Amino acid sequence: MLTFAALDFGDYLSLVLMDTGHIAKVKGEQTSWLEKTLAERREVPHLFGVNHVPCYPSYRNPDAEDEKLGVGQDQREQWCPLFEKYKVDVVLEHHDHTFKRTHPLTDGRVDPYGVNYLGDGSWGKVRAPKRPEDRPYLAKTSEAYHVTVHRLEGARRFHVAIEDTGKIADVITTVSKRASKRG
């Protein structure tokens, strides 16, 4: 049984759903599949990755040796270079039960042409995330239940995080690196 798949909405949007080590190992077959899947979708205007365990956690220590599952180390090593190579627009992440947005990242460093990681799945027990001052890859965090609405409009995407109180937690606009090729 495969626990990772791509969900395609015509030739307009692809969600690449990954198993972050819960059943399928990150390294090996899944990473090979990911590269093939992203390569096949080079021309898709909106290409999103979807992970449970975040590549760039907002709560857990990304360098923790005793918490291998749950800190994103394997994903950062195996998948982030592929997300960058194939210009994935955003990666939706979960698991830490916080709100977070990273800066656009390439090789873990802030890069205006990099990948944004959005999440971190705040339903369940909400936790206090680390502050952006403590983790340079983080652009914004908060301890709040939230849902994110993604509006795709031509080559632009609007990502709006809304707290359970109705307050707007965050807004970010991204531009597809592939949609502009299609006219």
Domains of the chain with bracketed CATH: 5-144 (3.60.21.10)
pLDDT tens per residue across span 37-55: 999 999 999 999 999 889 9
pLDDT tens per residue across span 96-149: 888 999 999 999 999 999 999 998 887 778 888 889 999 999 999 998 889 999
What is the average pLDDT across 150-172? 94
Contacts of 120 (CB under 8 A, 6+ apart): 54, 57, 58, 59, 93, 94, 95, 96, 97, 98, 99, 100, 129
Higher pLDDT, 183 or 12: 12
pLDDT of residue 183: 40
- Of 133, 134, 131, nearest to 143 by C-alpha is 131
